[in-house]
Structures are given as C-alpha cells and as structure tokens.
Structure 1
Amino acid sequence: MPAARYHVGGLAIRVLSDGCSWQDAGAVHGLVPRVMWERVTTDLNAQHQIPLALNCLLLESDGKTVLIETGQGDKDFDQLRARGGAVGHGKLLDALAAEGVAPGDVDIVINTHLHNDHCGWNTRRIGGALRPTFPNARYVVQAGEWDVATHTNERTRATYLADNLLPLRETGQLDLIDGETAVTSQLTVVETPGHTADHASVLIRDGGETAIYIGDIAQHRVQLERVAWISAFDVLPLVSLETKKRLVREAVAGNHLILSVHTPYPGAGRLVQREGRNHFIDEAPERDHEPVATSAQSRGGA
C-alpha cells in the first residue's frame, strides 16, 4: 500500500508507518481518572494497553531526502516476546522500500527526541555489528536531548537505549543542534519542551502553508483537545501544559496541519474551536499518486 500523502504548499509529505507500540492506557493518560479516559479509549487489549501508532515522515526538501523520526525498529523483538508482549512494529524499512527509497538514499534524519519508540531504526544490526541504518545521513538531534539520553538515571534508562544512539557518534554522522534550527529552507526544528526537557517538533512551511510534526507533545488525540490531559511519560508536565497551550493557539489561528506520531495512521488533522472547545478533525490523505524520486535517484544514484 502506498504511503499516505499530503501537501504543504508545493511540498509533498509522505507518512510512513513503523507499525504500532502497545502502551499501558493509564500511563498514556497520566493523572486522568480511568472513568474519564475510558470514554475516549475504545481499543484496549486484555492487558489494558492501547496501540500507539509509529508515524514517520518522508519528504524531499532542497534536494535532500529527509526522514523525520525512525519508529521503534526491530532490536527489541526478543525482549518483548520474552515478556509476553505484543510485537506490532519494525515495518519502516518495508514502508520506505515500497516508496522506492533505500536506506542509502536518505540524506537527513531528524529525531524529535530519543526515546526508543522514536529512534529505533536509527541503527540496525548488520553482520552482528550495530551500524547506522542510513549510512549517508546526518542525524539531527537537540544537543540537550543527546546529553540526557547518554547519561541516564533510574527513570530514564529504560527509554533511552545506547544501541540506538552511540553508533551515530562513532561514524561521525551525529549533528547536534541547540534550539530552533533551520534544517532546510522548508523544515525548521523548534523547541517544544515538556515530554522531555529538550523535546523538539518540526515546522514544515511552503507556499504560505504550515504543518507541524508534533513528536510527543500529545500521545493521544484527546490530549490536544483537552490540554490538561498530560501523559505520565512527560518528565515536565507543567511545561508540557504551556507548550500544548501555545501549539493549540497557533494551530487554530493558522489552520496548521498537525502530523502526529501516535494518533492512528496516518495521524494527520487540524484543530478547530467550536463553542470554546478544541476538536481534532482527521484529514484524509490525497488519493492516487506516483512515488516521487529521491534526491539520490534524481542525481542518478541507486
């Protein structure tokens, strides 16, 4: 199945799925009582987990093939099965191949943060050794996030996995940035703290239109509609609240296309206000399209 496609101005955006990750519903909704979140959560499994989509973006900008986020990858399959957990992820490379994109075609990878469900395909095992999955890419990460991810504590060590990170430094492909940074003329990494102290999102702008890939600002659509609903996974919940209030205000005023990592595939929609309440309205992808050549293919590469 071809990737879901959207346009921002003249810029084509493709949403690729790495599958889904099953997470405890109570943790996703934080301090919100179960009697309230059960009204908006209809897909619980027997372990009271809900599936969180793993939506990544593929774009061509300034002659570069850009991948935003790399999903959960495939390195944790054995660990999950040993715990009796469900394995629903690890599909990103197949999704890229279906679009005619090989790992070597990717020029830039952007991570909003470095939790294992957002950077799992940063690396993979090749011949028994861990290597960057995208051998020709710069990996763009906030410097503060990298520092926290590589100096873990009792709370963070289960979500920051060295196997996803350290090979990037060893091969010299790591591109650490500090704060708001233009990666291309159409893509800007912006600070959206709360989920982690140095969490970032990606603004996509072209032809007077704007989209924002929100990372983990919200892990469920209702968290955009009710900004006080904050996940237990957020390390700075009050900062998350202020970040979400700002994002919602700007998204409503600018009619921004919101691209969500964890909302069910393809995870795109817009926020509208009706009678003082926010509503996240799904946006259907465009129909019928042909794969767009990557920058490497345009240059005559493989």
Structure 2
Amino acid sequence: MAVQPRKSEPPYAPILRGSPQWDERRGAMTIPSGARYQVGSVEFAVVNDGDYFYDAGAVFGVVPRIMWERQIEGLDRQHRLTLGINCLLLRSRGKTILIETGVGGKPGDRDSSSPASEGTLLTSLAAIGVQPADIDVVVNTHLHADHCGWNTSADAAGVLTPTFPNASYVMSATEWRDATHPNERTRATYLGRNLDPIADRLDLIEGERAITDEVIFVPVPGHTEGHSTVVIRSGQEWAVYVGDMAQHRVQLERTPWVSGLDTLPLVSLETKKRLMDECIEAGALIAFCHGAYPGVGRMTRTAEGHRKWMDVEPLAPHEHPSGHTA
C-alpha cells in the first residue's frame, strides 16, 4: 500500500523522509548553511542548494546492483539516491569566492525529481551574511545543470541576467567549448539559460591556474573532458573540492566504481586514484558536491590497505582552529 502524505505535508514528503534535511517536527525541508571548516588561515563555509534525486543505476553505471546496494541506504521507491548540492563560500586575499552554484531557481531549473520548487543557495548565503553582489569570483568545476544553475536568474518578465552582478565566472576553456557546442548525449544538461547571460563575464582557464595563491584551479578530466577541482592551500594544510568526481562517497573509496555519468570513464579512474592517494598522504579535507550536507571528510586507509571515507565535523559556532571559543 502506498504511503499517503500527511495532510500538512507536501506531496513529495513520503520519499523525502530519511533525508538528513527532512525535519519531521516541521514537516518541511530544513535549509542547512554555514558549516565552517579551517584550512590553515583560510576558512570556508558549505552553503547548500537543497537536495535532489537521481537514478542509482545511472550513478553506479556498470557496477552490478548487488554490489553497490550493500554500500548505500535511503533509496526511494523509484530506486533514486538523495544527492546533496553543496557549494563552498570562502574569502582569500580580499576576494569572496563561491565554488559551484547548484541547480538554480529559474523556471525549469528544478524538475519533478527535486524536492523544492526553488533552490536554497541564495537563502543559505544570506544566512551567513552574504549577498549576490558580494561575490567577486564564481568557480564552476564544470557546467552540468546541477552545478551552475544559479549562475543566472530570471526576473518577473523572464529576462535572464547573471545572479552575481560583480563576479567573474571562472571555468575551464575546454568545458565552455563543450557546453556551448553540446552533442546528443550532453545537450540535456548543458543549458543555454545557465550560460548565455554570463558570456561577457568569463575567465576561461587553460590548464592549472591560481585564483589566489591559496585557491588553485586544477584540471581533473574524467567526468567531462573539461572537469576541474579547486584546491585550497594555506600553510601546510590543504583541502580539495572534487566537484563531480563522485556522486557518492563510495565512488571515492572504490575508485574502479566509475559513474555511468562520466564521459571519459578510464580517465576518471586514473584521476580519482591519483587524487585520493594524494589526499590520504597529505591528510587533506575533501568536500564534494553531492554528499549529505555538509559533505566534508578525509580519506583514510584501513589496516588492509583499502581507502575509507571518514566524515569531518564542522567547527562549532565561534570556534577557532585552536579549539578555543570566541
């Protein structure tokens, strides 16, 4: 028998229960924002654009279901995973930098698979005192629709403009080329409404480049040819935002479990192996877009030599890296 929504609930409530962002007391989605982490002298906050649902078979590709279903929980009745949409906000060398912009809030941005009619990124930013005009640099790891939707916004008349009016938009030149000339496979996720209004704000990068001396844009092809990560380095510490190198943390642990969404799967395998091993050696923080909020952890190695993801809790409110409170 199908579970019927409670009278006070929206129709999508039955499939949302079990999501870490579902608040049973309120019968609504909470809007997490501002989980803070420290990397040397750089602090970053994880800001959220909600959750959405995606077919687990597409995420795990050729990996047999009997293997991947042992590693996950929370599938809905349609065998979909709940995926987070975690973006990063940080300040470095006088620049306010937003990494990734989520699914967006324009008409058509959030389809029936999404739990909310409008994304929560701008609300999440406002909750930590940041307005769109405060952003100096937007970084897109790639240009799939769930990573760059808030690049643009629509007014009441449907006119599209950049959401962040004072920002340059940083991305791979290869990714921009592919996104603006999509093929039959990619045209459903490379959407002109997320791209065309920012064409005169672009900062296209070939290869690796420093945005500041603490924030480095690094190509990691595999998910797409132009996919990139963002490395934060300060002192002897570093963190990496891995974008869509994985949609589930088990794909970072078991690097041969390449996503069915990757356009260059064998390249993806090699880049994941290399980066995860570097992160283990350095003890680096890893942030990824589609983990349950806040989606930050470290990769460790078990006694048997296997990679193992460990969640890292954010700083407590007003806590300094030393552990003292303000």
Normalised by the length of structure 2, the TM-score is: 0.85
Alpha-carbon distance in structure 1 between the residues aligned to 2:141 and 2:172: 8
1:141 aligns with 2:204: no
Cα RMSD (Å): 1.4
CA 1:78 to 1:256, structure 2 compared with 1: closer, same or farther past 3 Å? closer
Q: What is aligned with 2:16?
A: none
Match of 2:45 among 1, 7, 14: 14
2-structure distance, mates of 1:225, 1:185: 29
**Which of 21, 29, 36 is the aligned partner of 1:5?**
36
Quick one: which amino acid aligns to residue 151 of structure 1? Answer: H
Distance 1:168 1:2 in 2: 26
1:255 is the counterpart of 2:320: no
Q: Distance in 2 between matches of 1:214 and 1:80?
A: 25
User: What SS is found at the alignment partner of 1:16?
Assistant: strand
1:122 aligns with 2:151: yes
Segments of 4+ moved more than 4 angstroms = 76-79
Structure 2 residue 141 is the aligned partner of structure 1 residue 112: yes
Note the alpha carbon deviations across 1:36-89, whole angstroms, 9 max, x for none: 1111121111111111110000001110110000000122558724xxx34346
Aligned amino acid, residue 198 of structure 2: L
Matches of 1:78 and 1:262, distance apart in 2: 17
Residue 135 of structure 1 aligns with an amino acid whose one-letter code is P
In 2, Cα distance between the equivalents of 1:261 and 1:112?
A: 10
Paired positions, count: 285
> Could you tell me how far 1:20 is from its partner in structure 2?
1.3
Assess, with a 3 A threshold, how the Cα gap between structure 1 residues 44 and 152 changes in structure 2: closer, same or farther. Answer: same
Q: Tell me how far apart the structure 2 counterparts of residues 62 and 78 of structure 1 sit (CA, whole Å).
A: 33
- Contact in 2 for aligned 1:71/1:117 (Cα 8 Å): yes
> CA separation in 2, counterparts of 1:91 and 1:47?
24
Residue 58 of structure 2: SS of its match in structure 1?
helix
CA distance in 1, matches of 2:36, 2:272: 26
Given that residues 77 and 87 in structure 1 are in contact (C-alpha distance below 8 angstroms), is that contact kept between their aligned partners in structure 2?
no
Identify the residue that residue 292 of structure 2 maps to in structure 1.
Answer: 264
1:228 maps to 2:256: yes
Give yes or no for contact 1:189–1:201 (8 Å, CA) kept in 2: yes
In structure 1, what residue type is equivalent to 2:104? G
Partner residue in 1 for 2:195: 165
Matches within 5 A, 1:1-302: 2-75=33-106, 77=108, 80-81=111-112, 85-88=113-116, 90-128=119-157, 129-169=159-199, 172-274=200-302, 275-289=304-318
Identity %: 54
Q: Give distance in 2, aligned partners of 1:216 and 1:286.
A: 25
Read off the aligned partner of 2:100 and give its amino acid letter.
E
Cα distance between partner residues in 1 of 2:165 and 2:284: 33
Highest RCO, 1 vs 2 (Cα 8 Å, sep ≥ 6): 1
Query: Contact 2:104–2:110 (CA<8 Å) still a contact in 1?
Result: no
Name the CA distance, whole Å, in 1 between partners of 2:272 and 2:206: 21
User: For the structure 1 residues 2 and 152, does the alpha-carbon distance in structure 2 shift closer, same or farther, using more than 3 Å as the test?
Assistant: closer
The range that moved more, 96-105 or 86-95, is 86-95
Distance 1:163 1:77 in 2: 10
SS at match of 1:57: strand
Q: Aligned equivalents of 1:102 and 1:178: distance in 2?
A: 30
Aligned mates of 2:67, 2:241 — CA distance in 1: 27
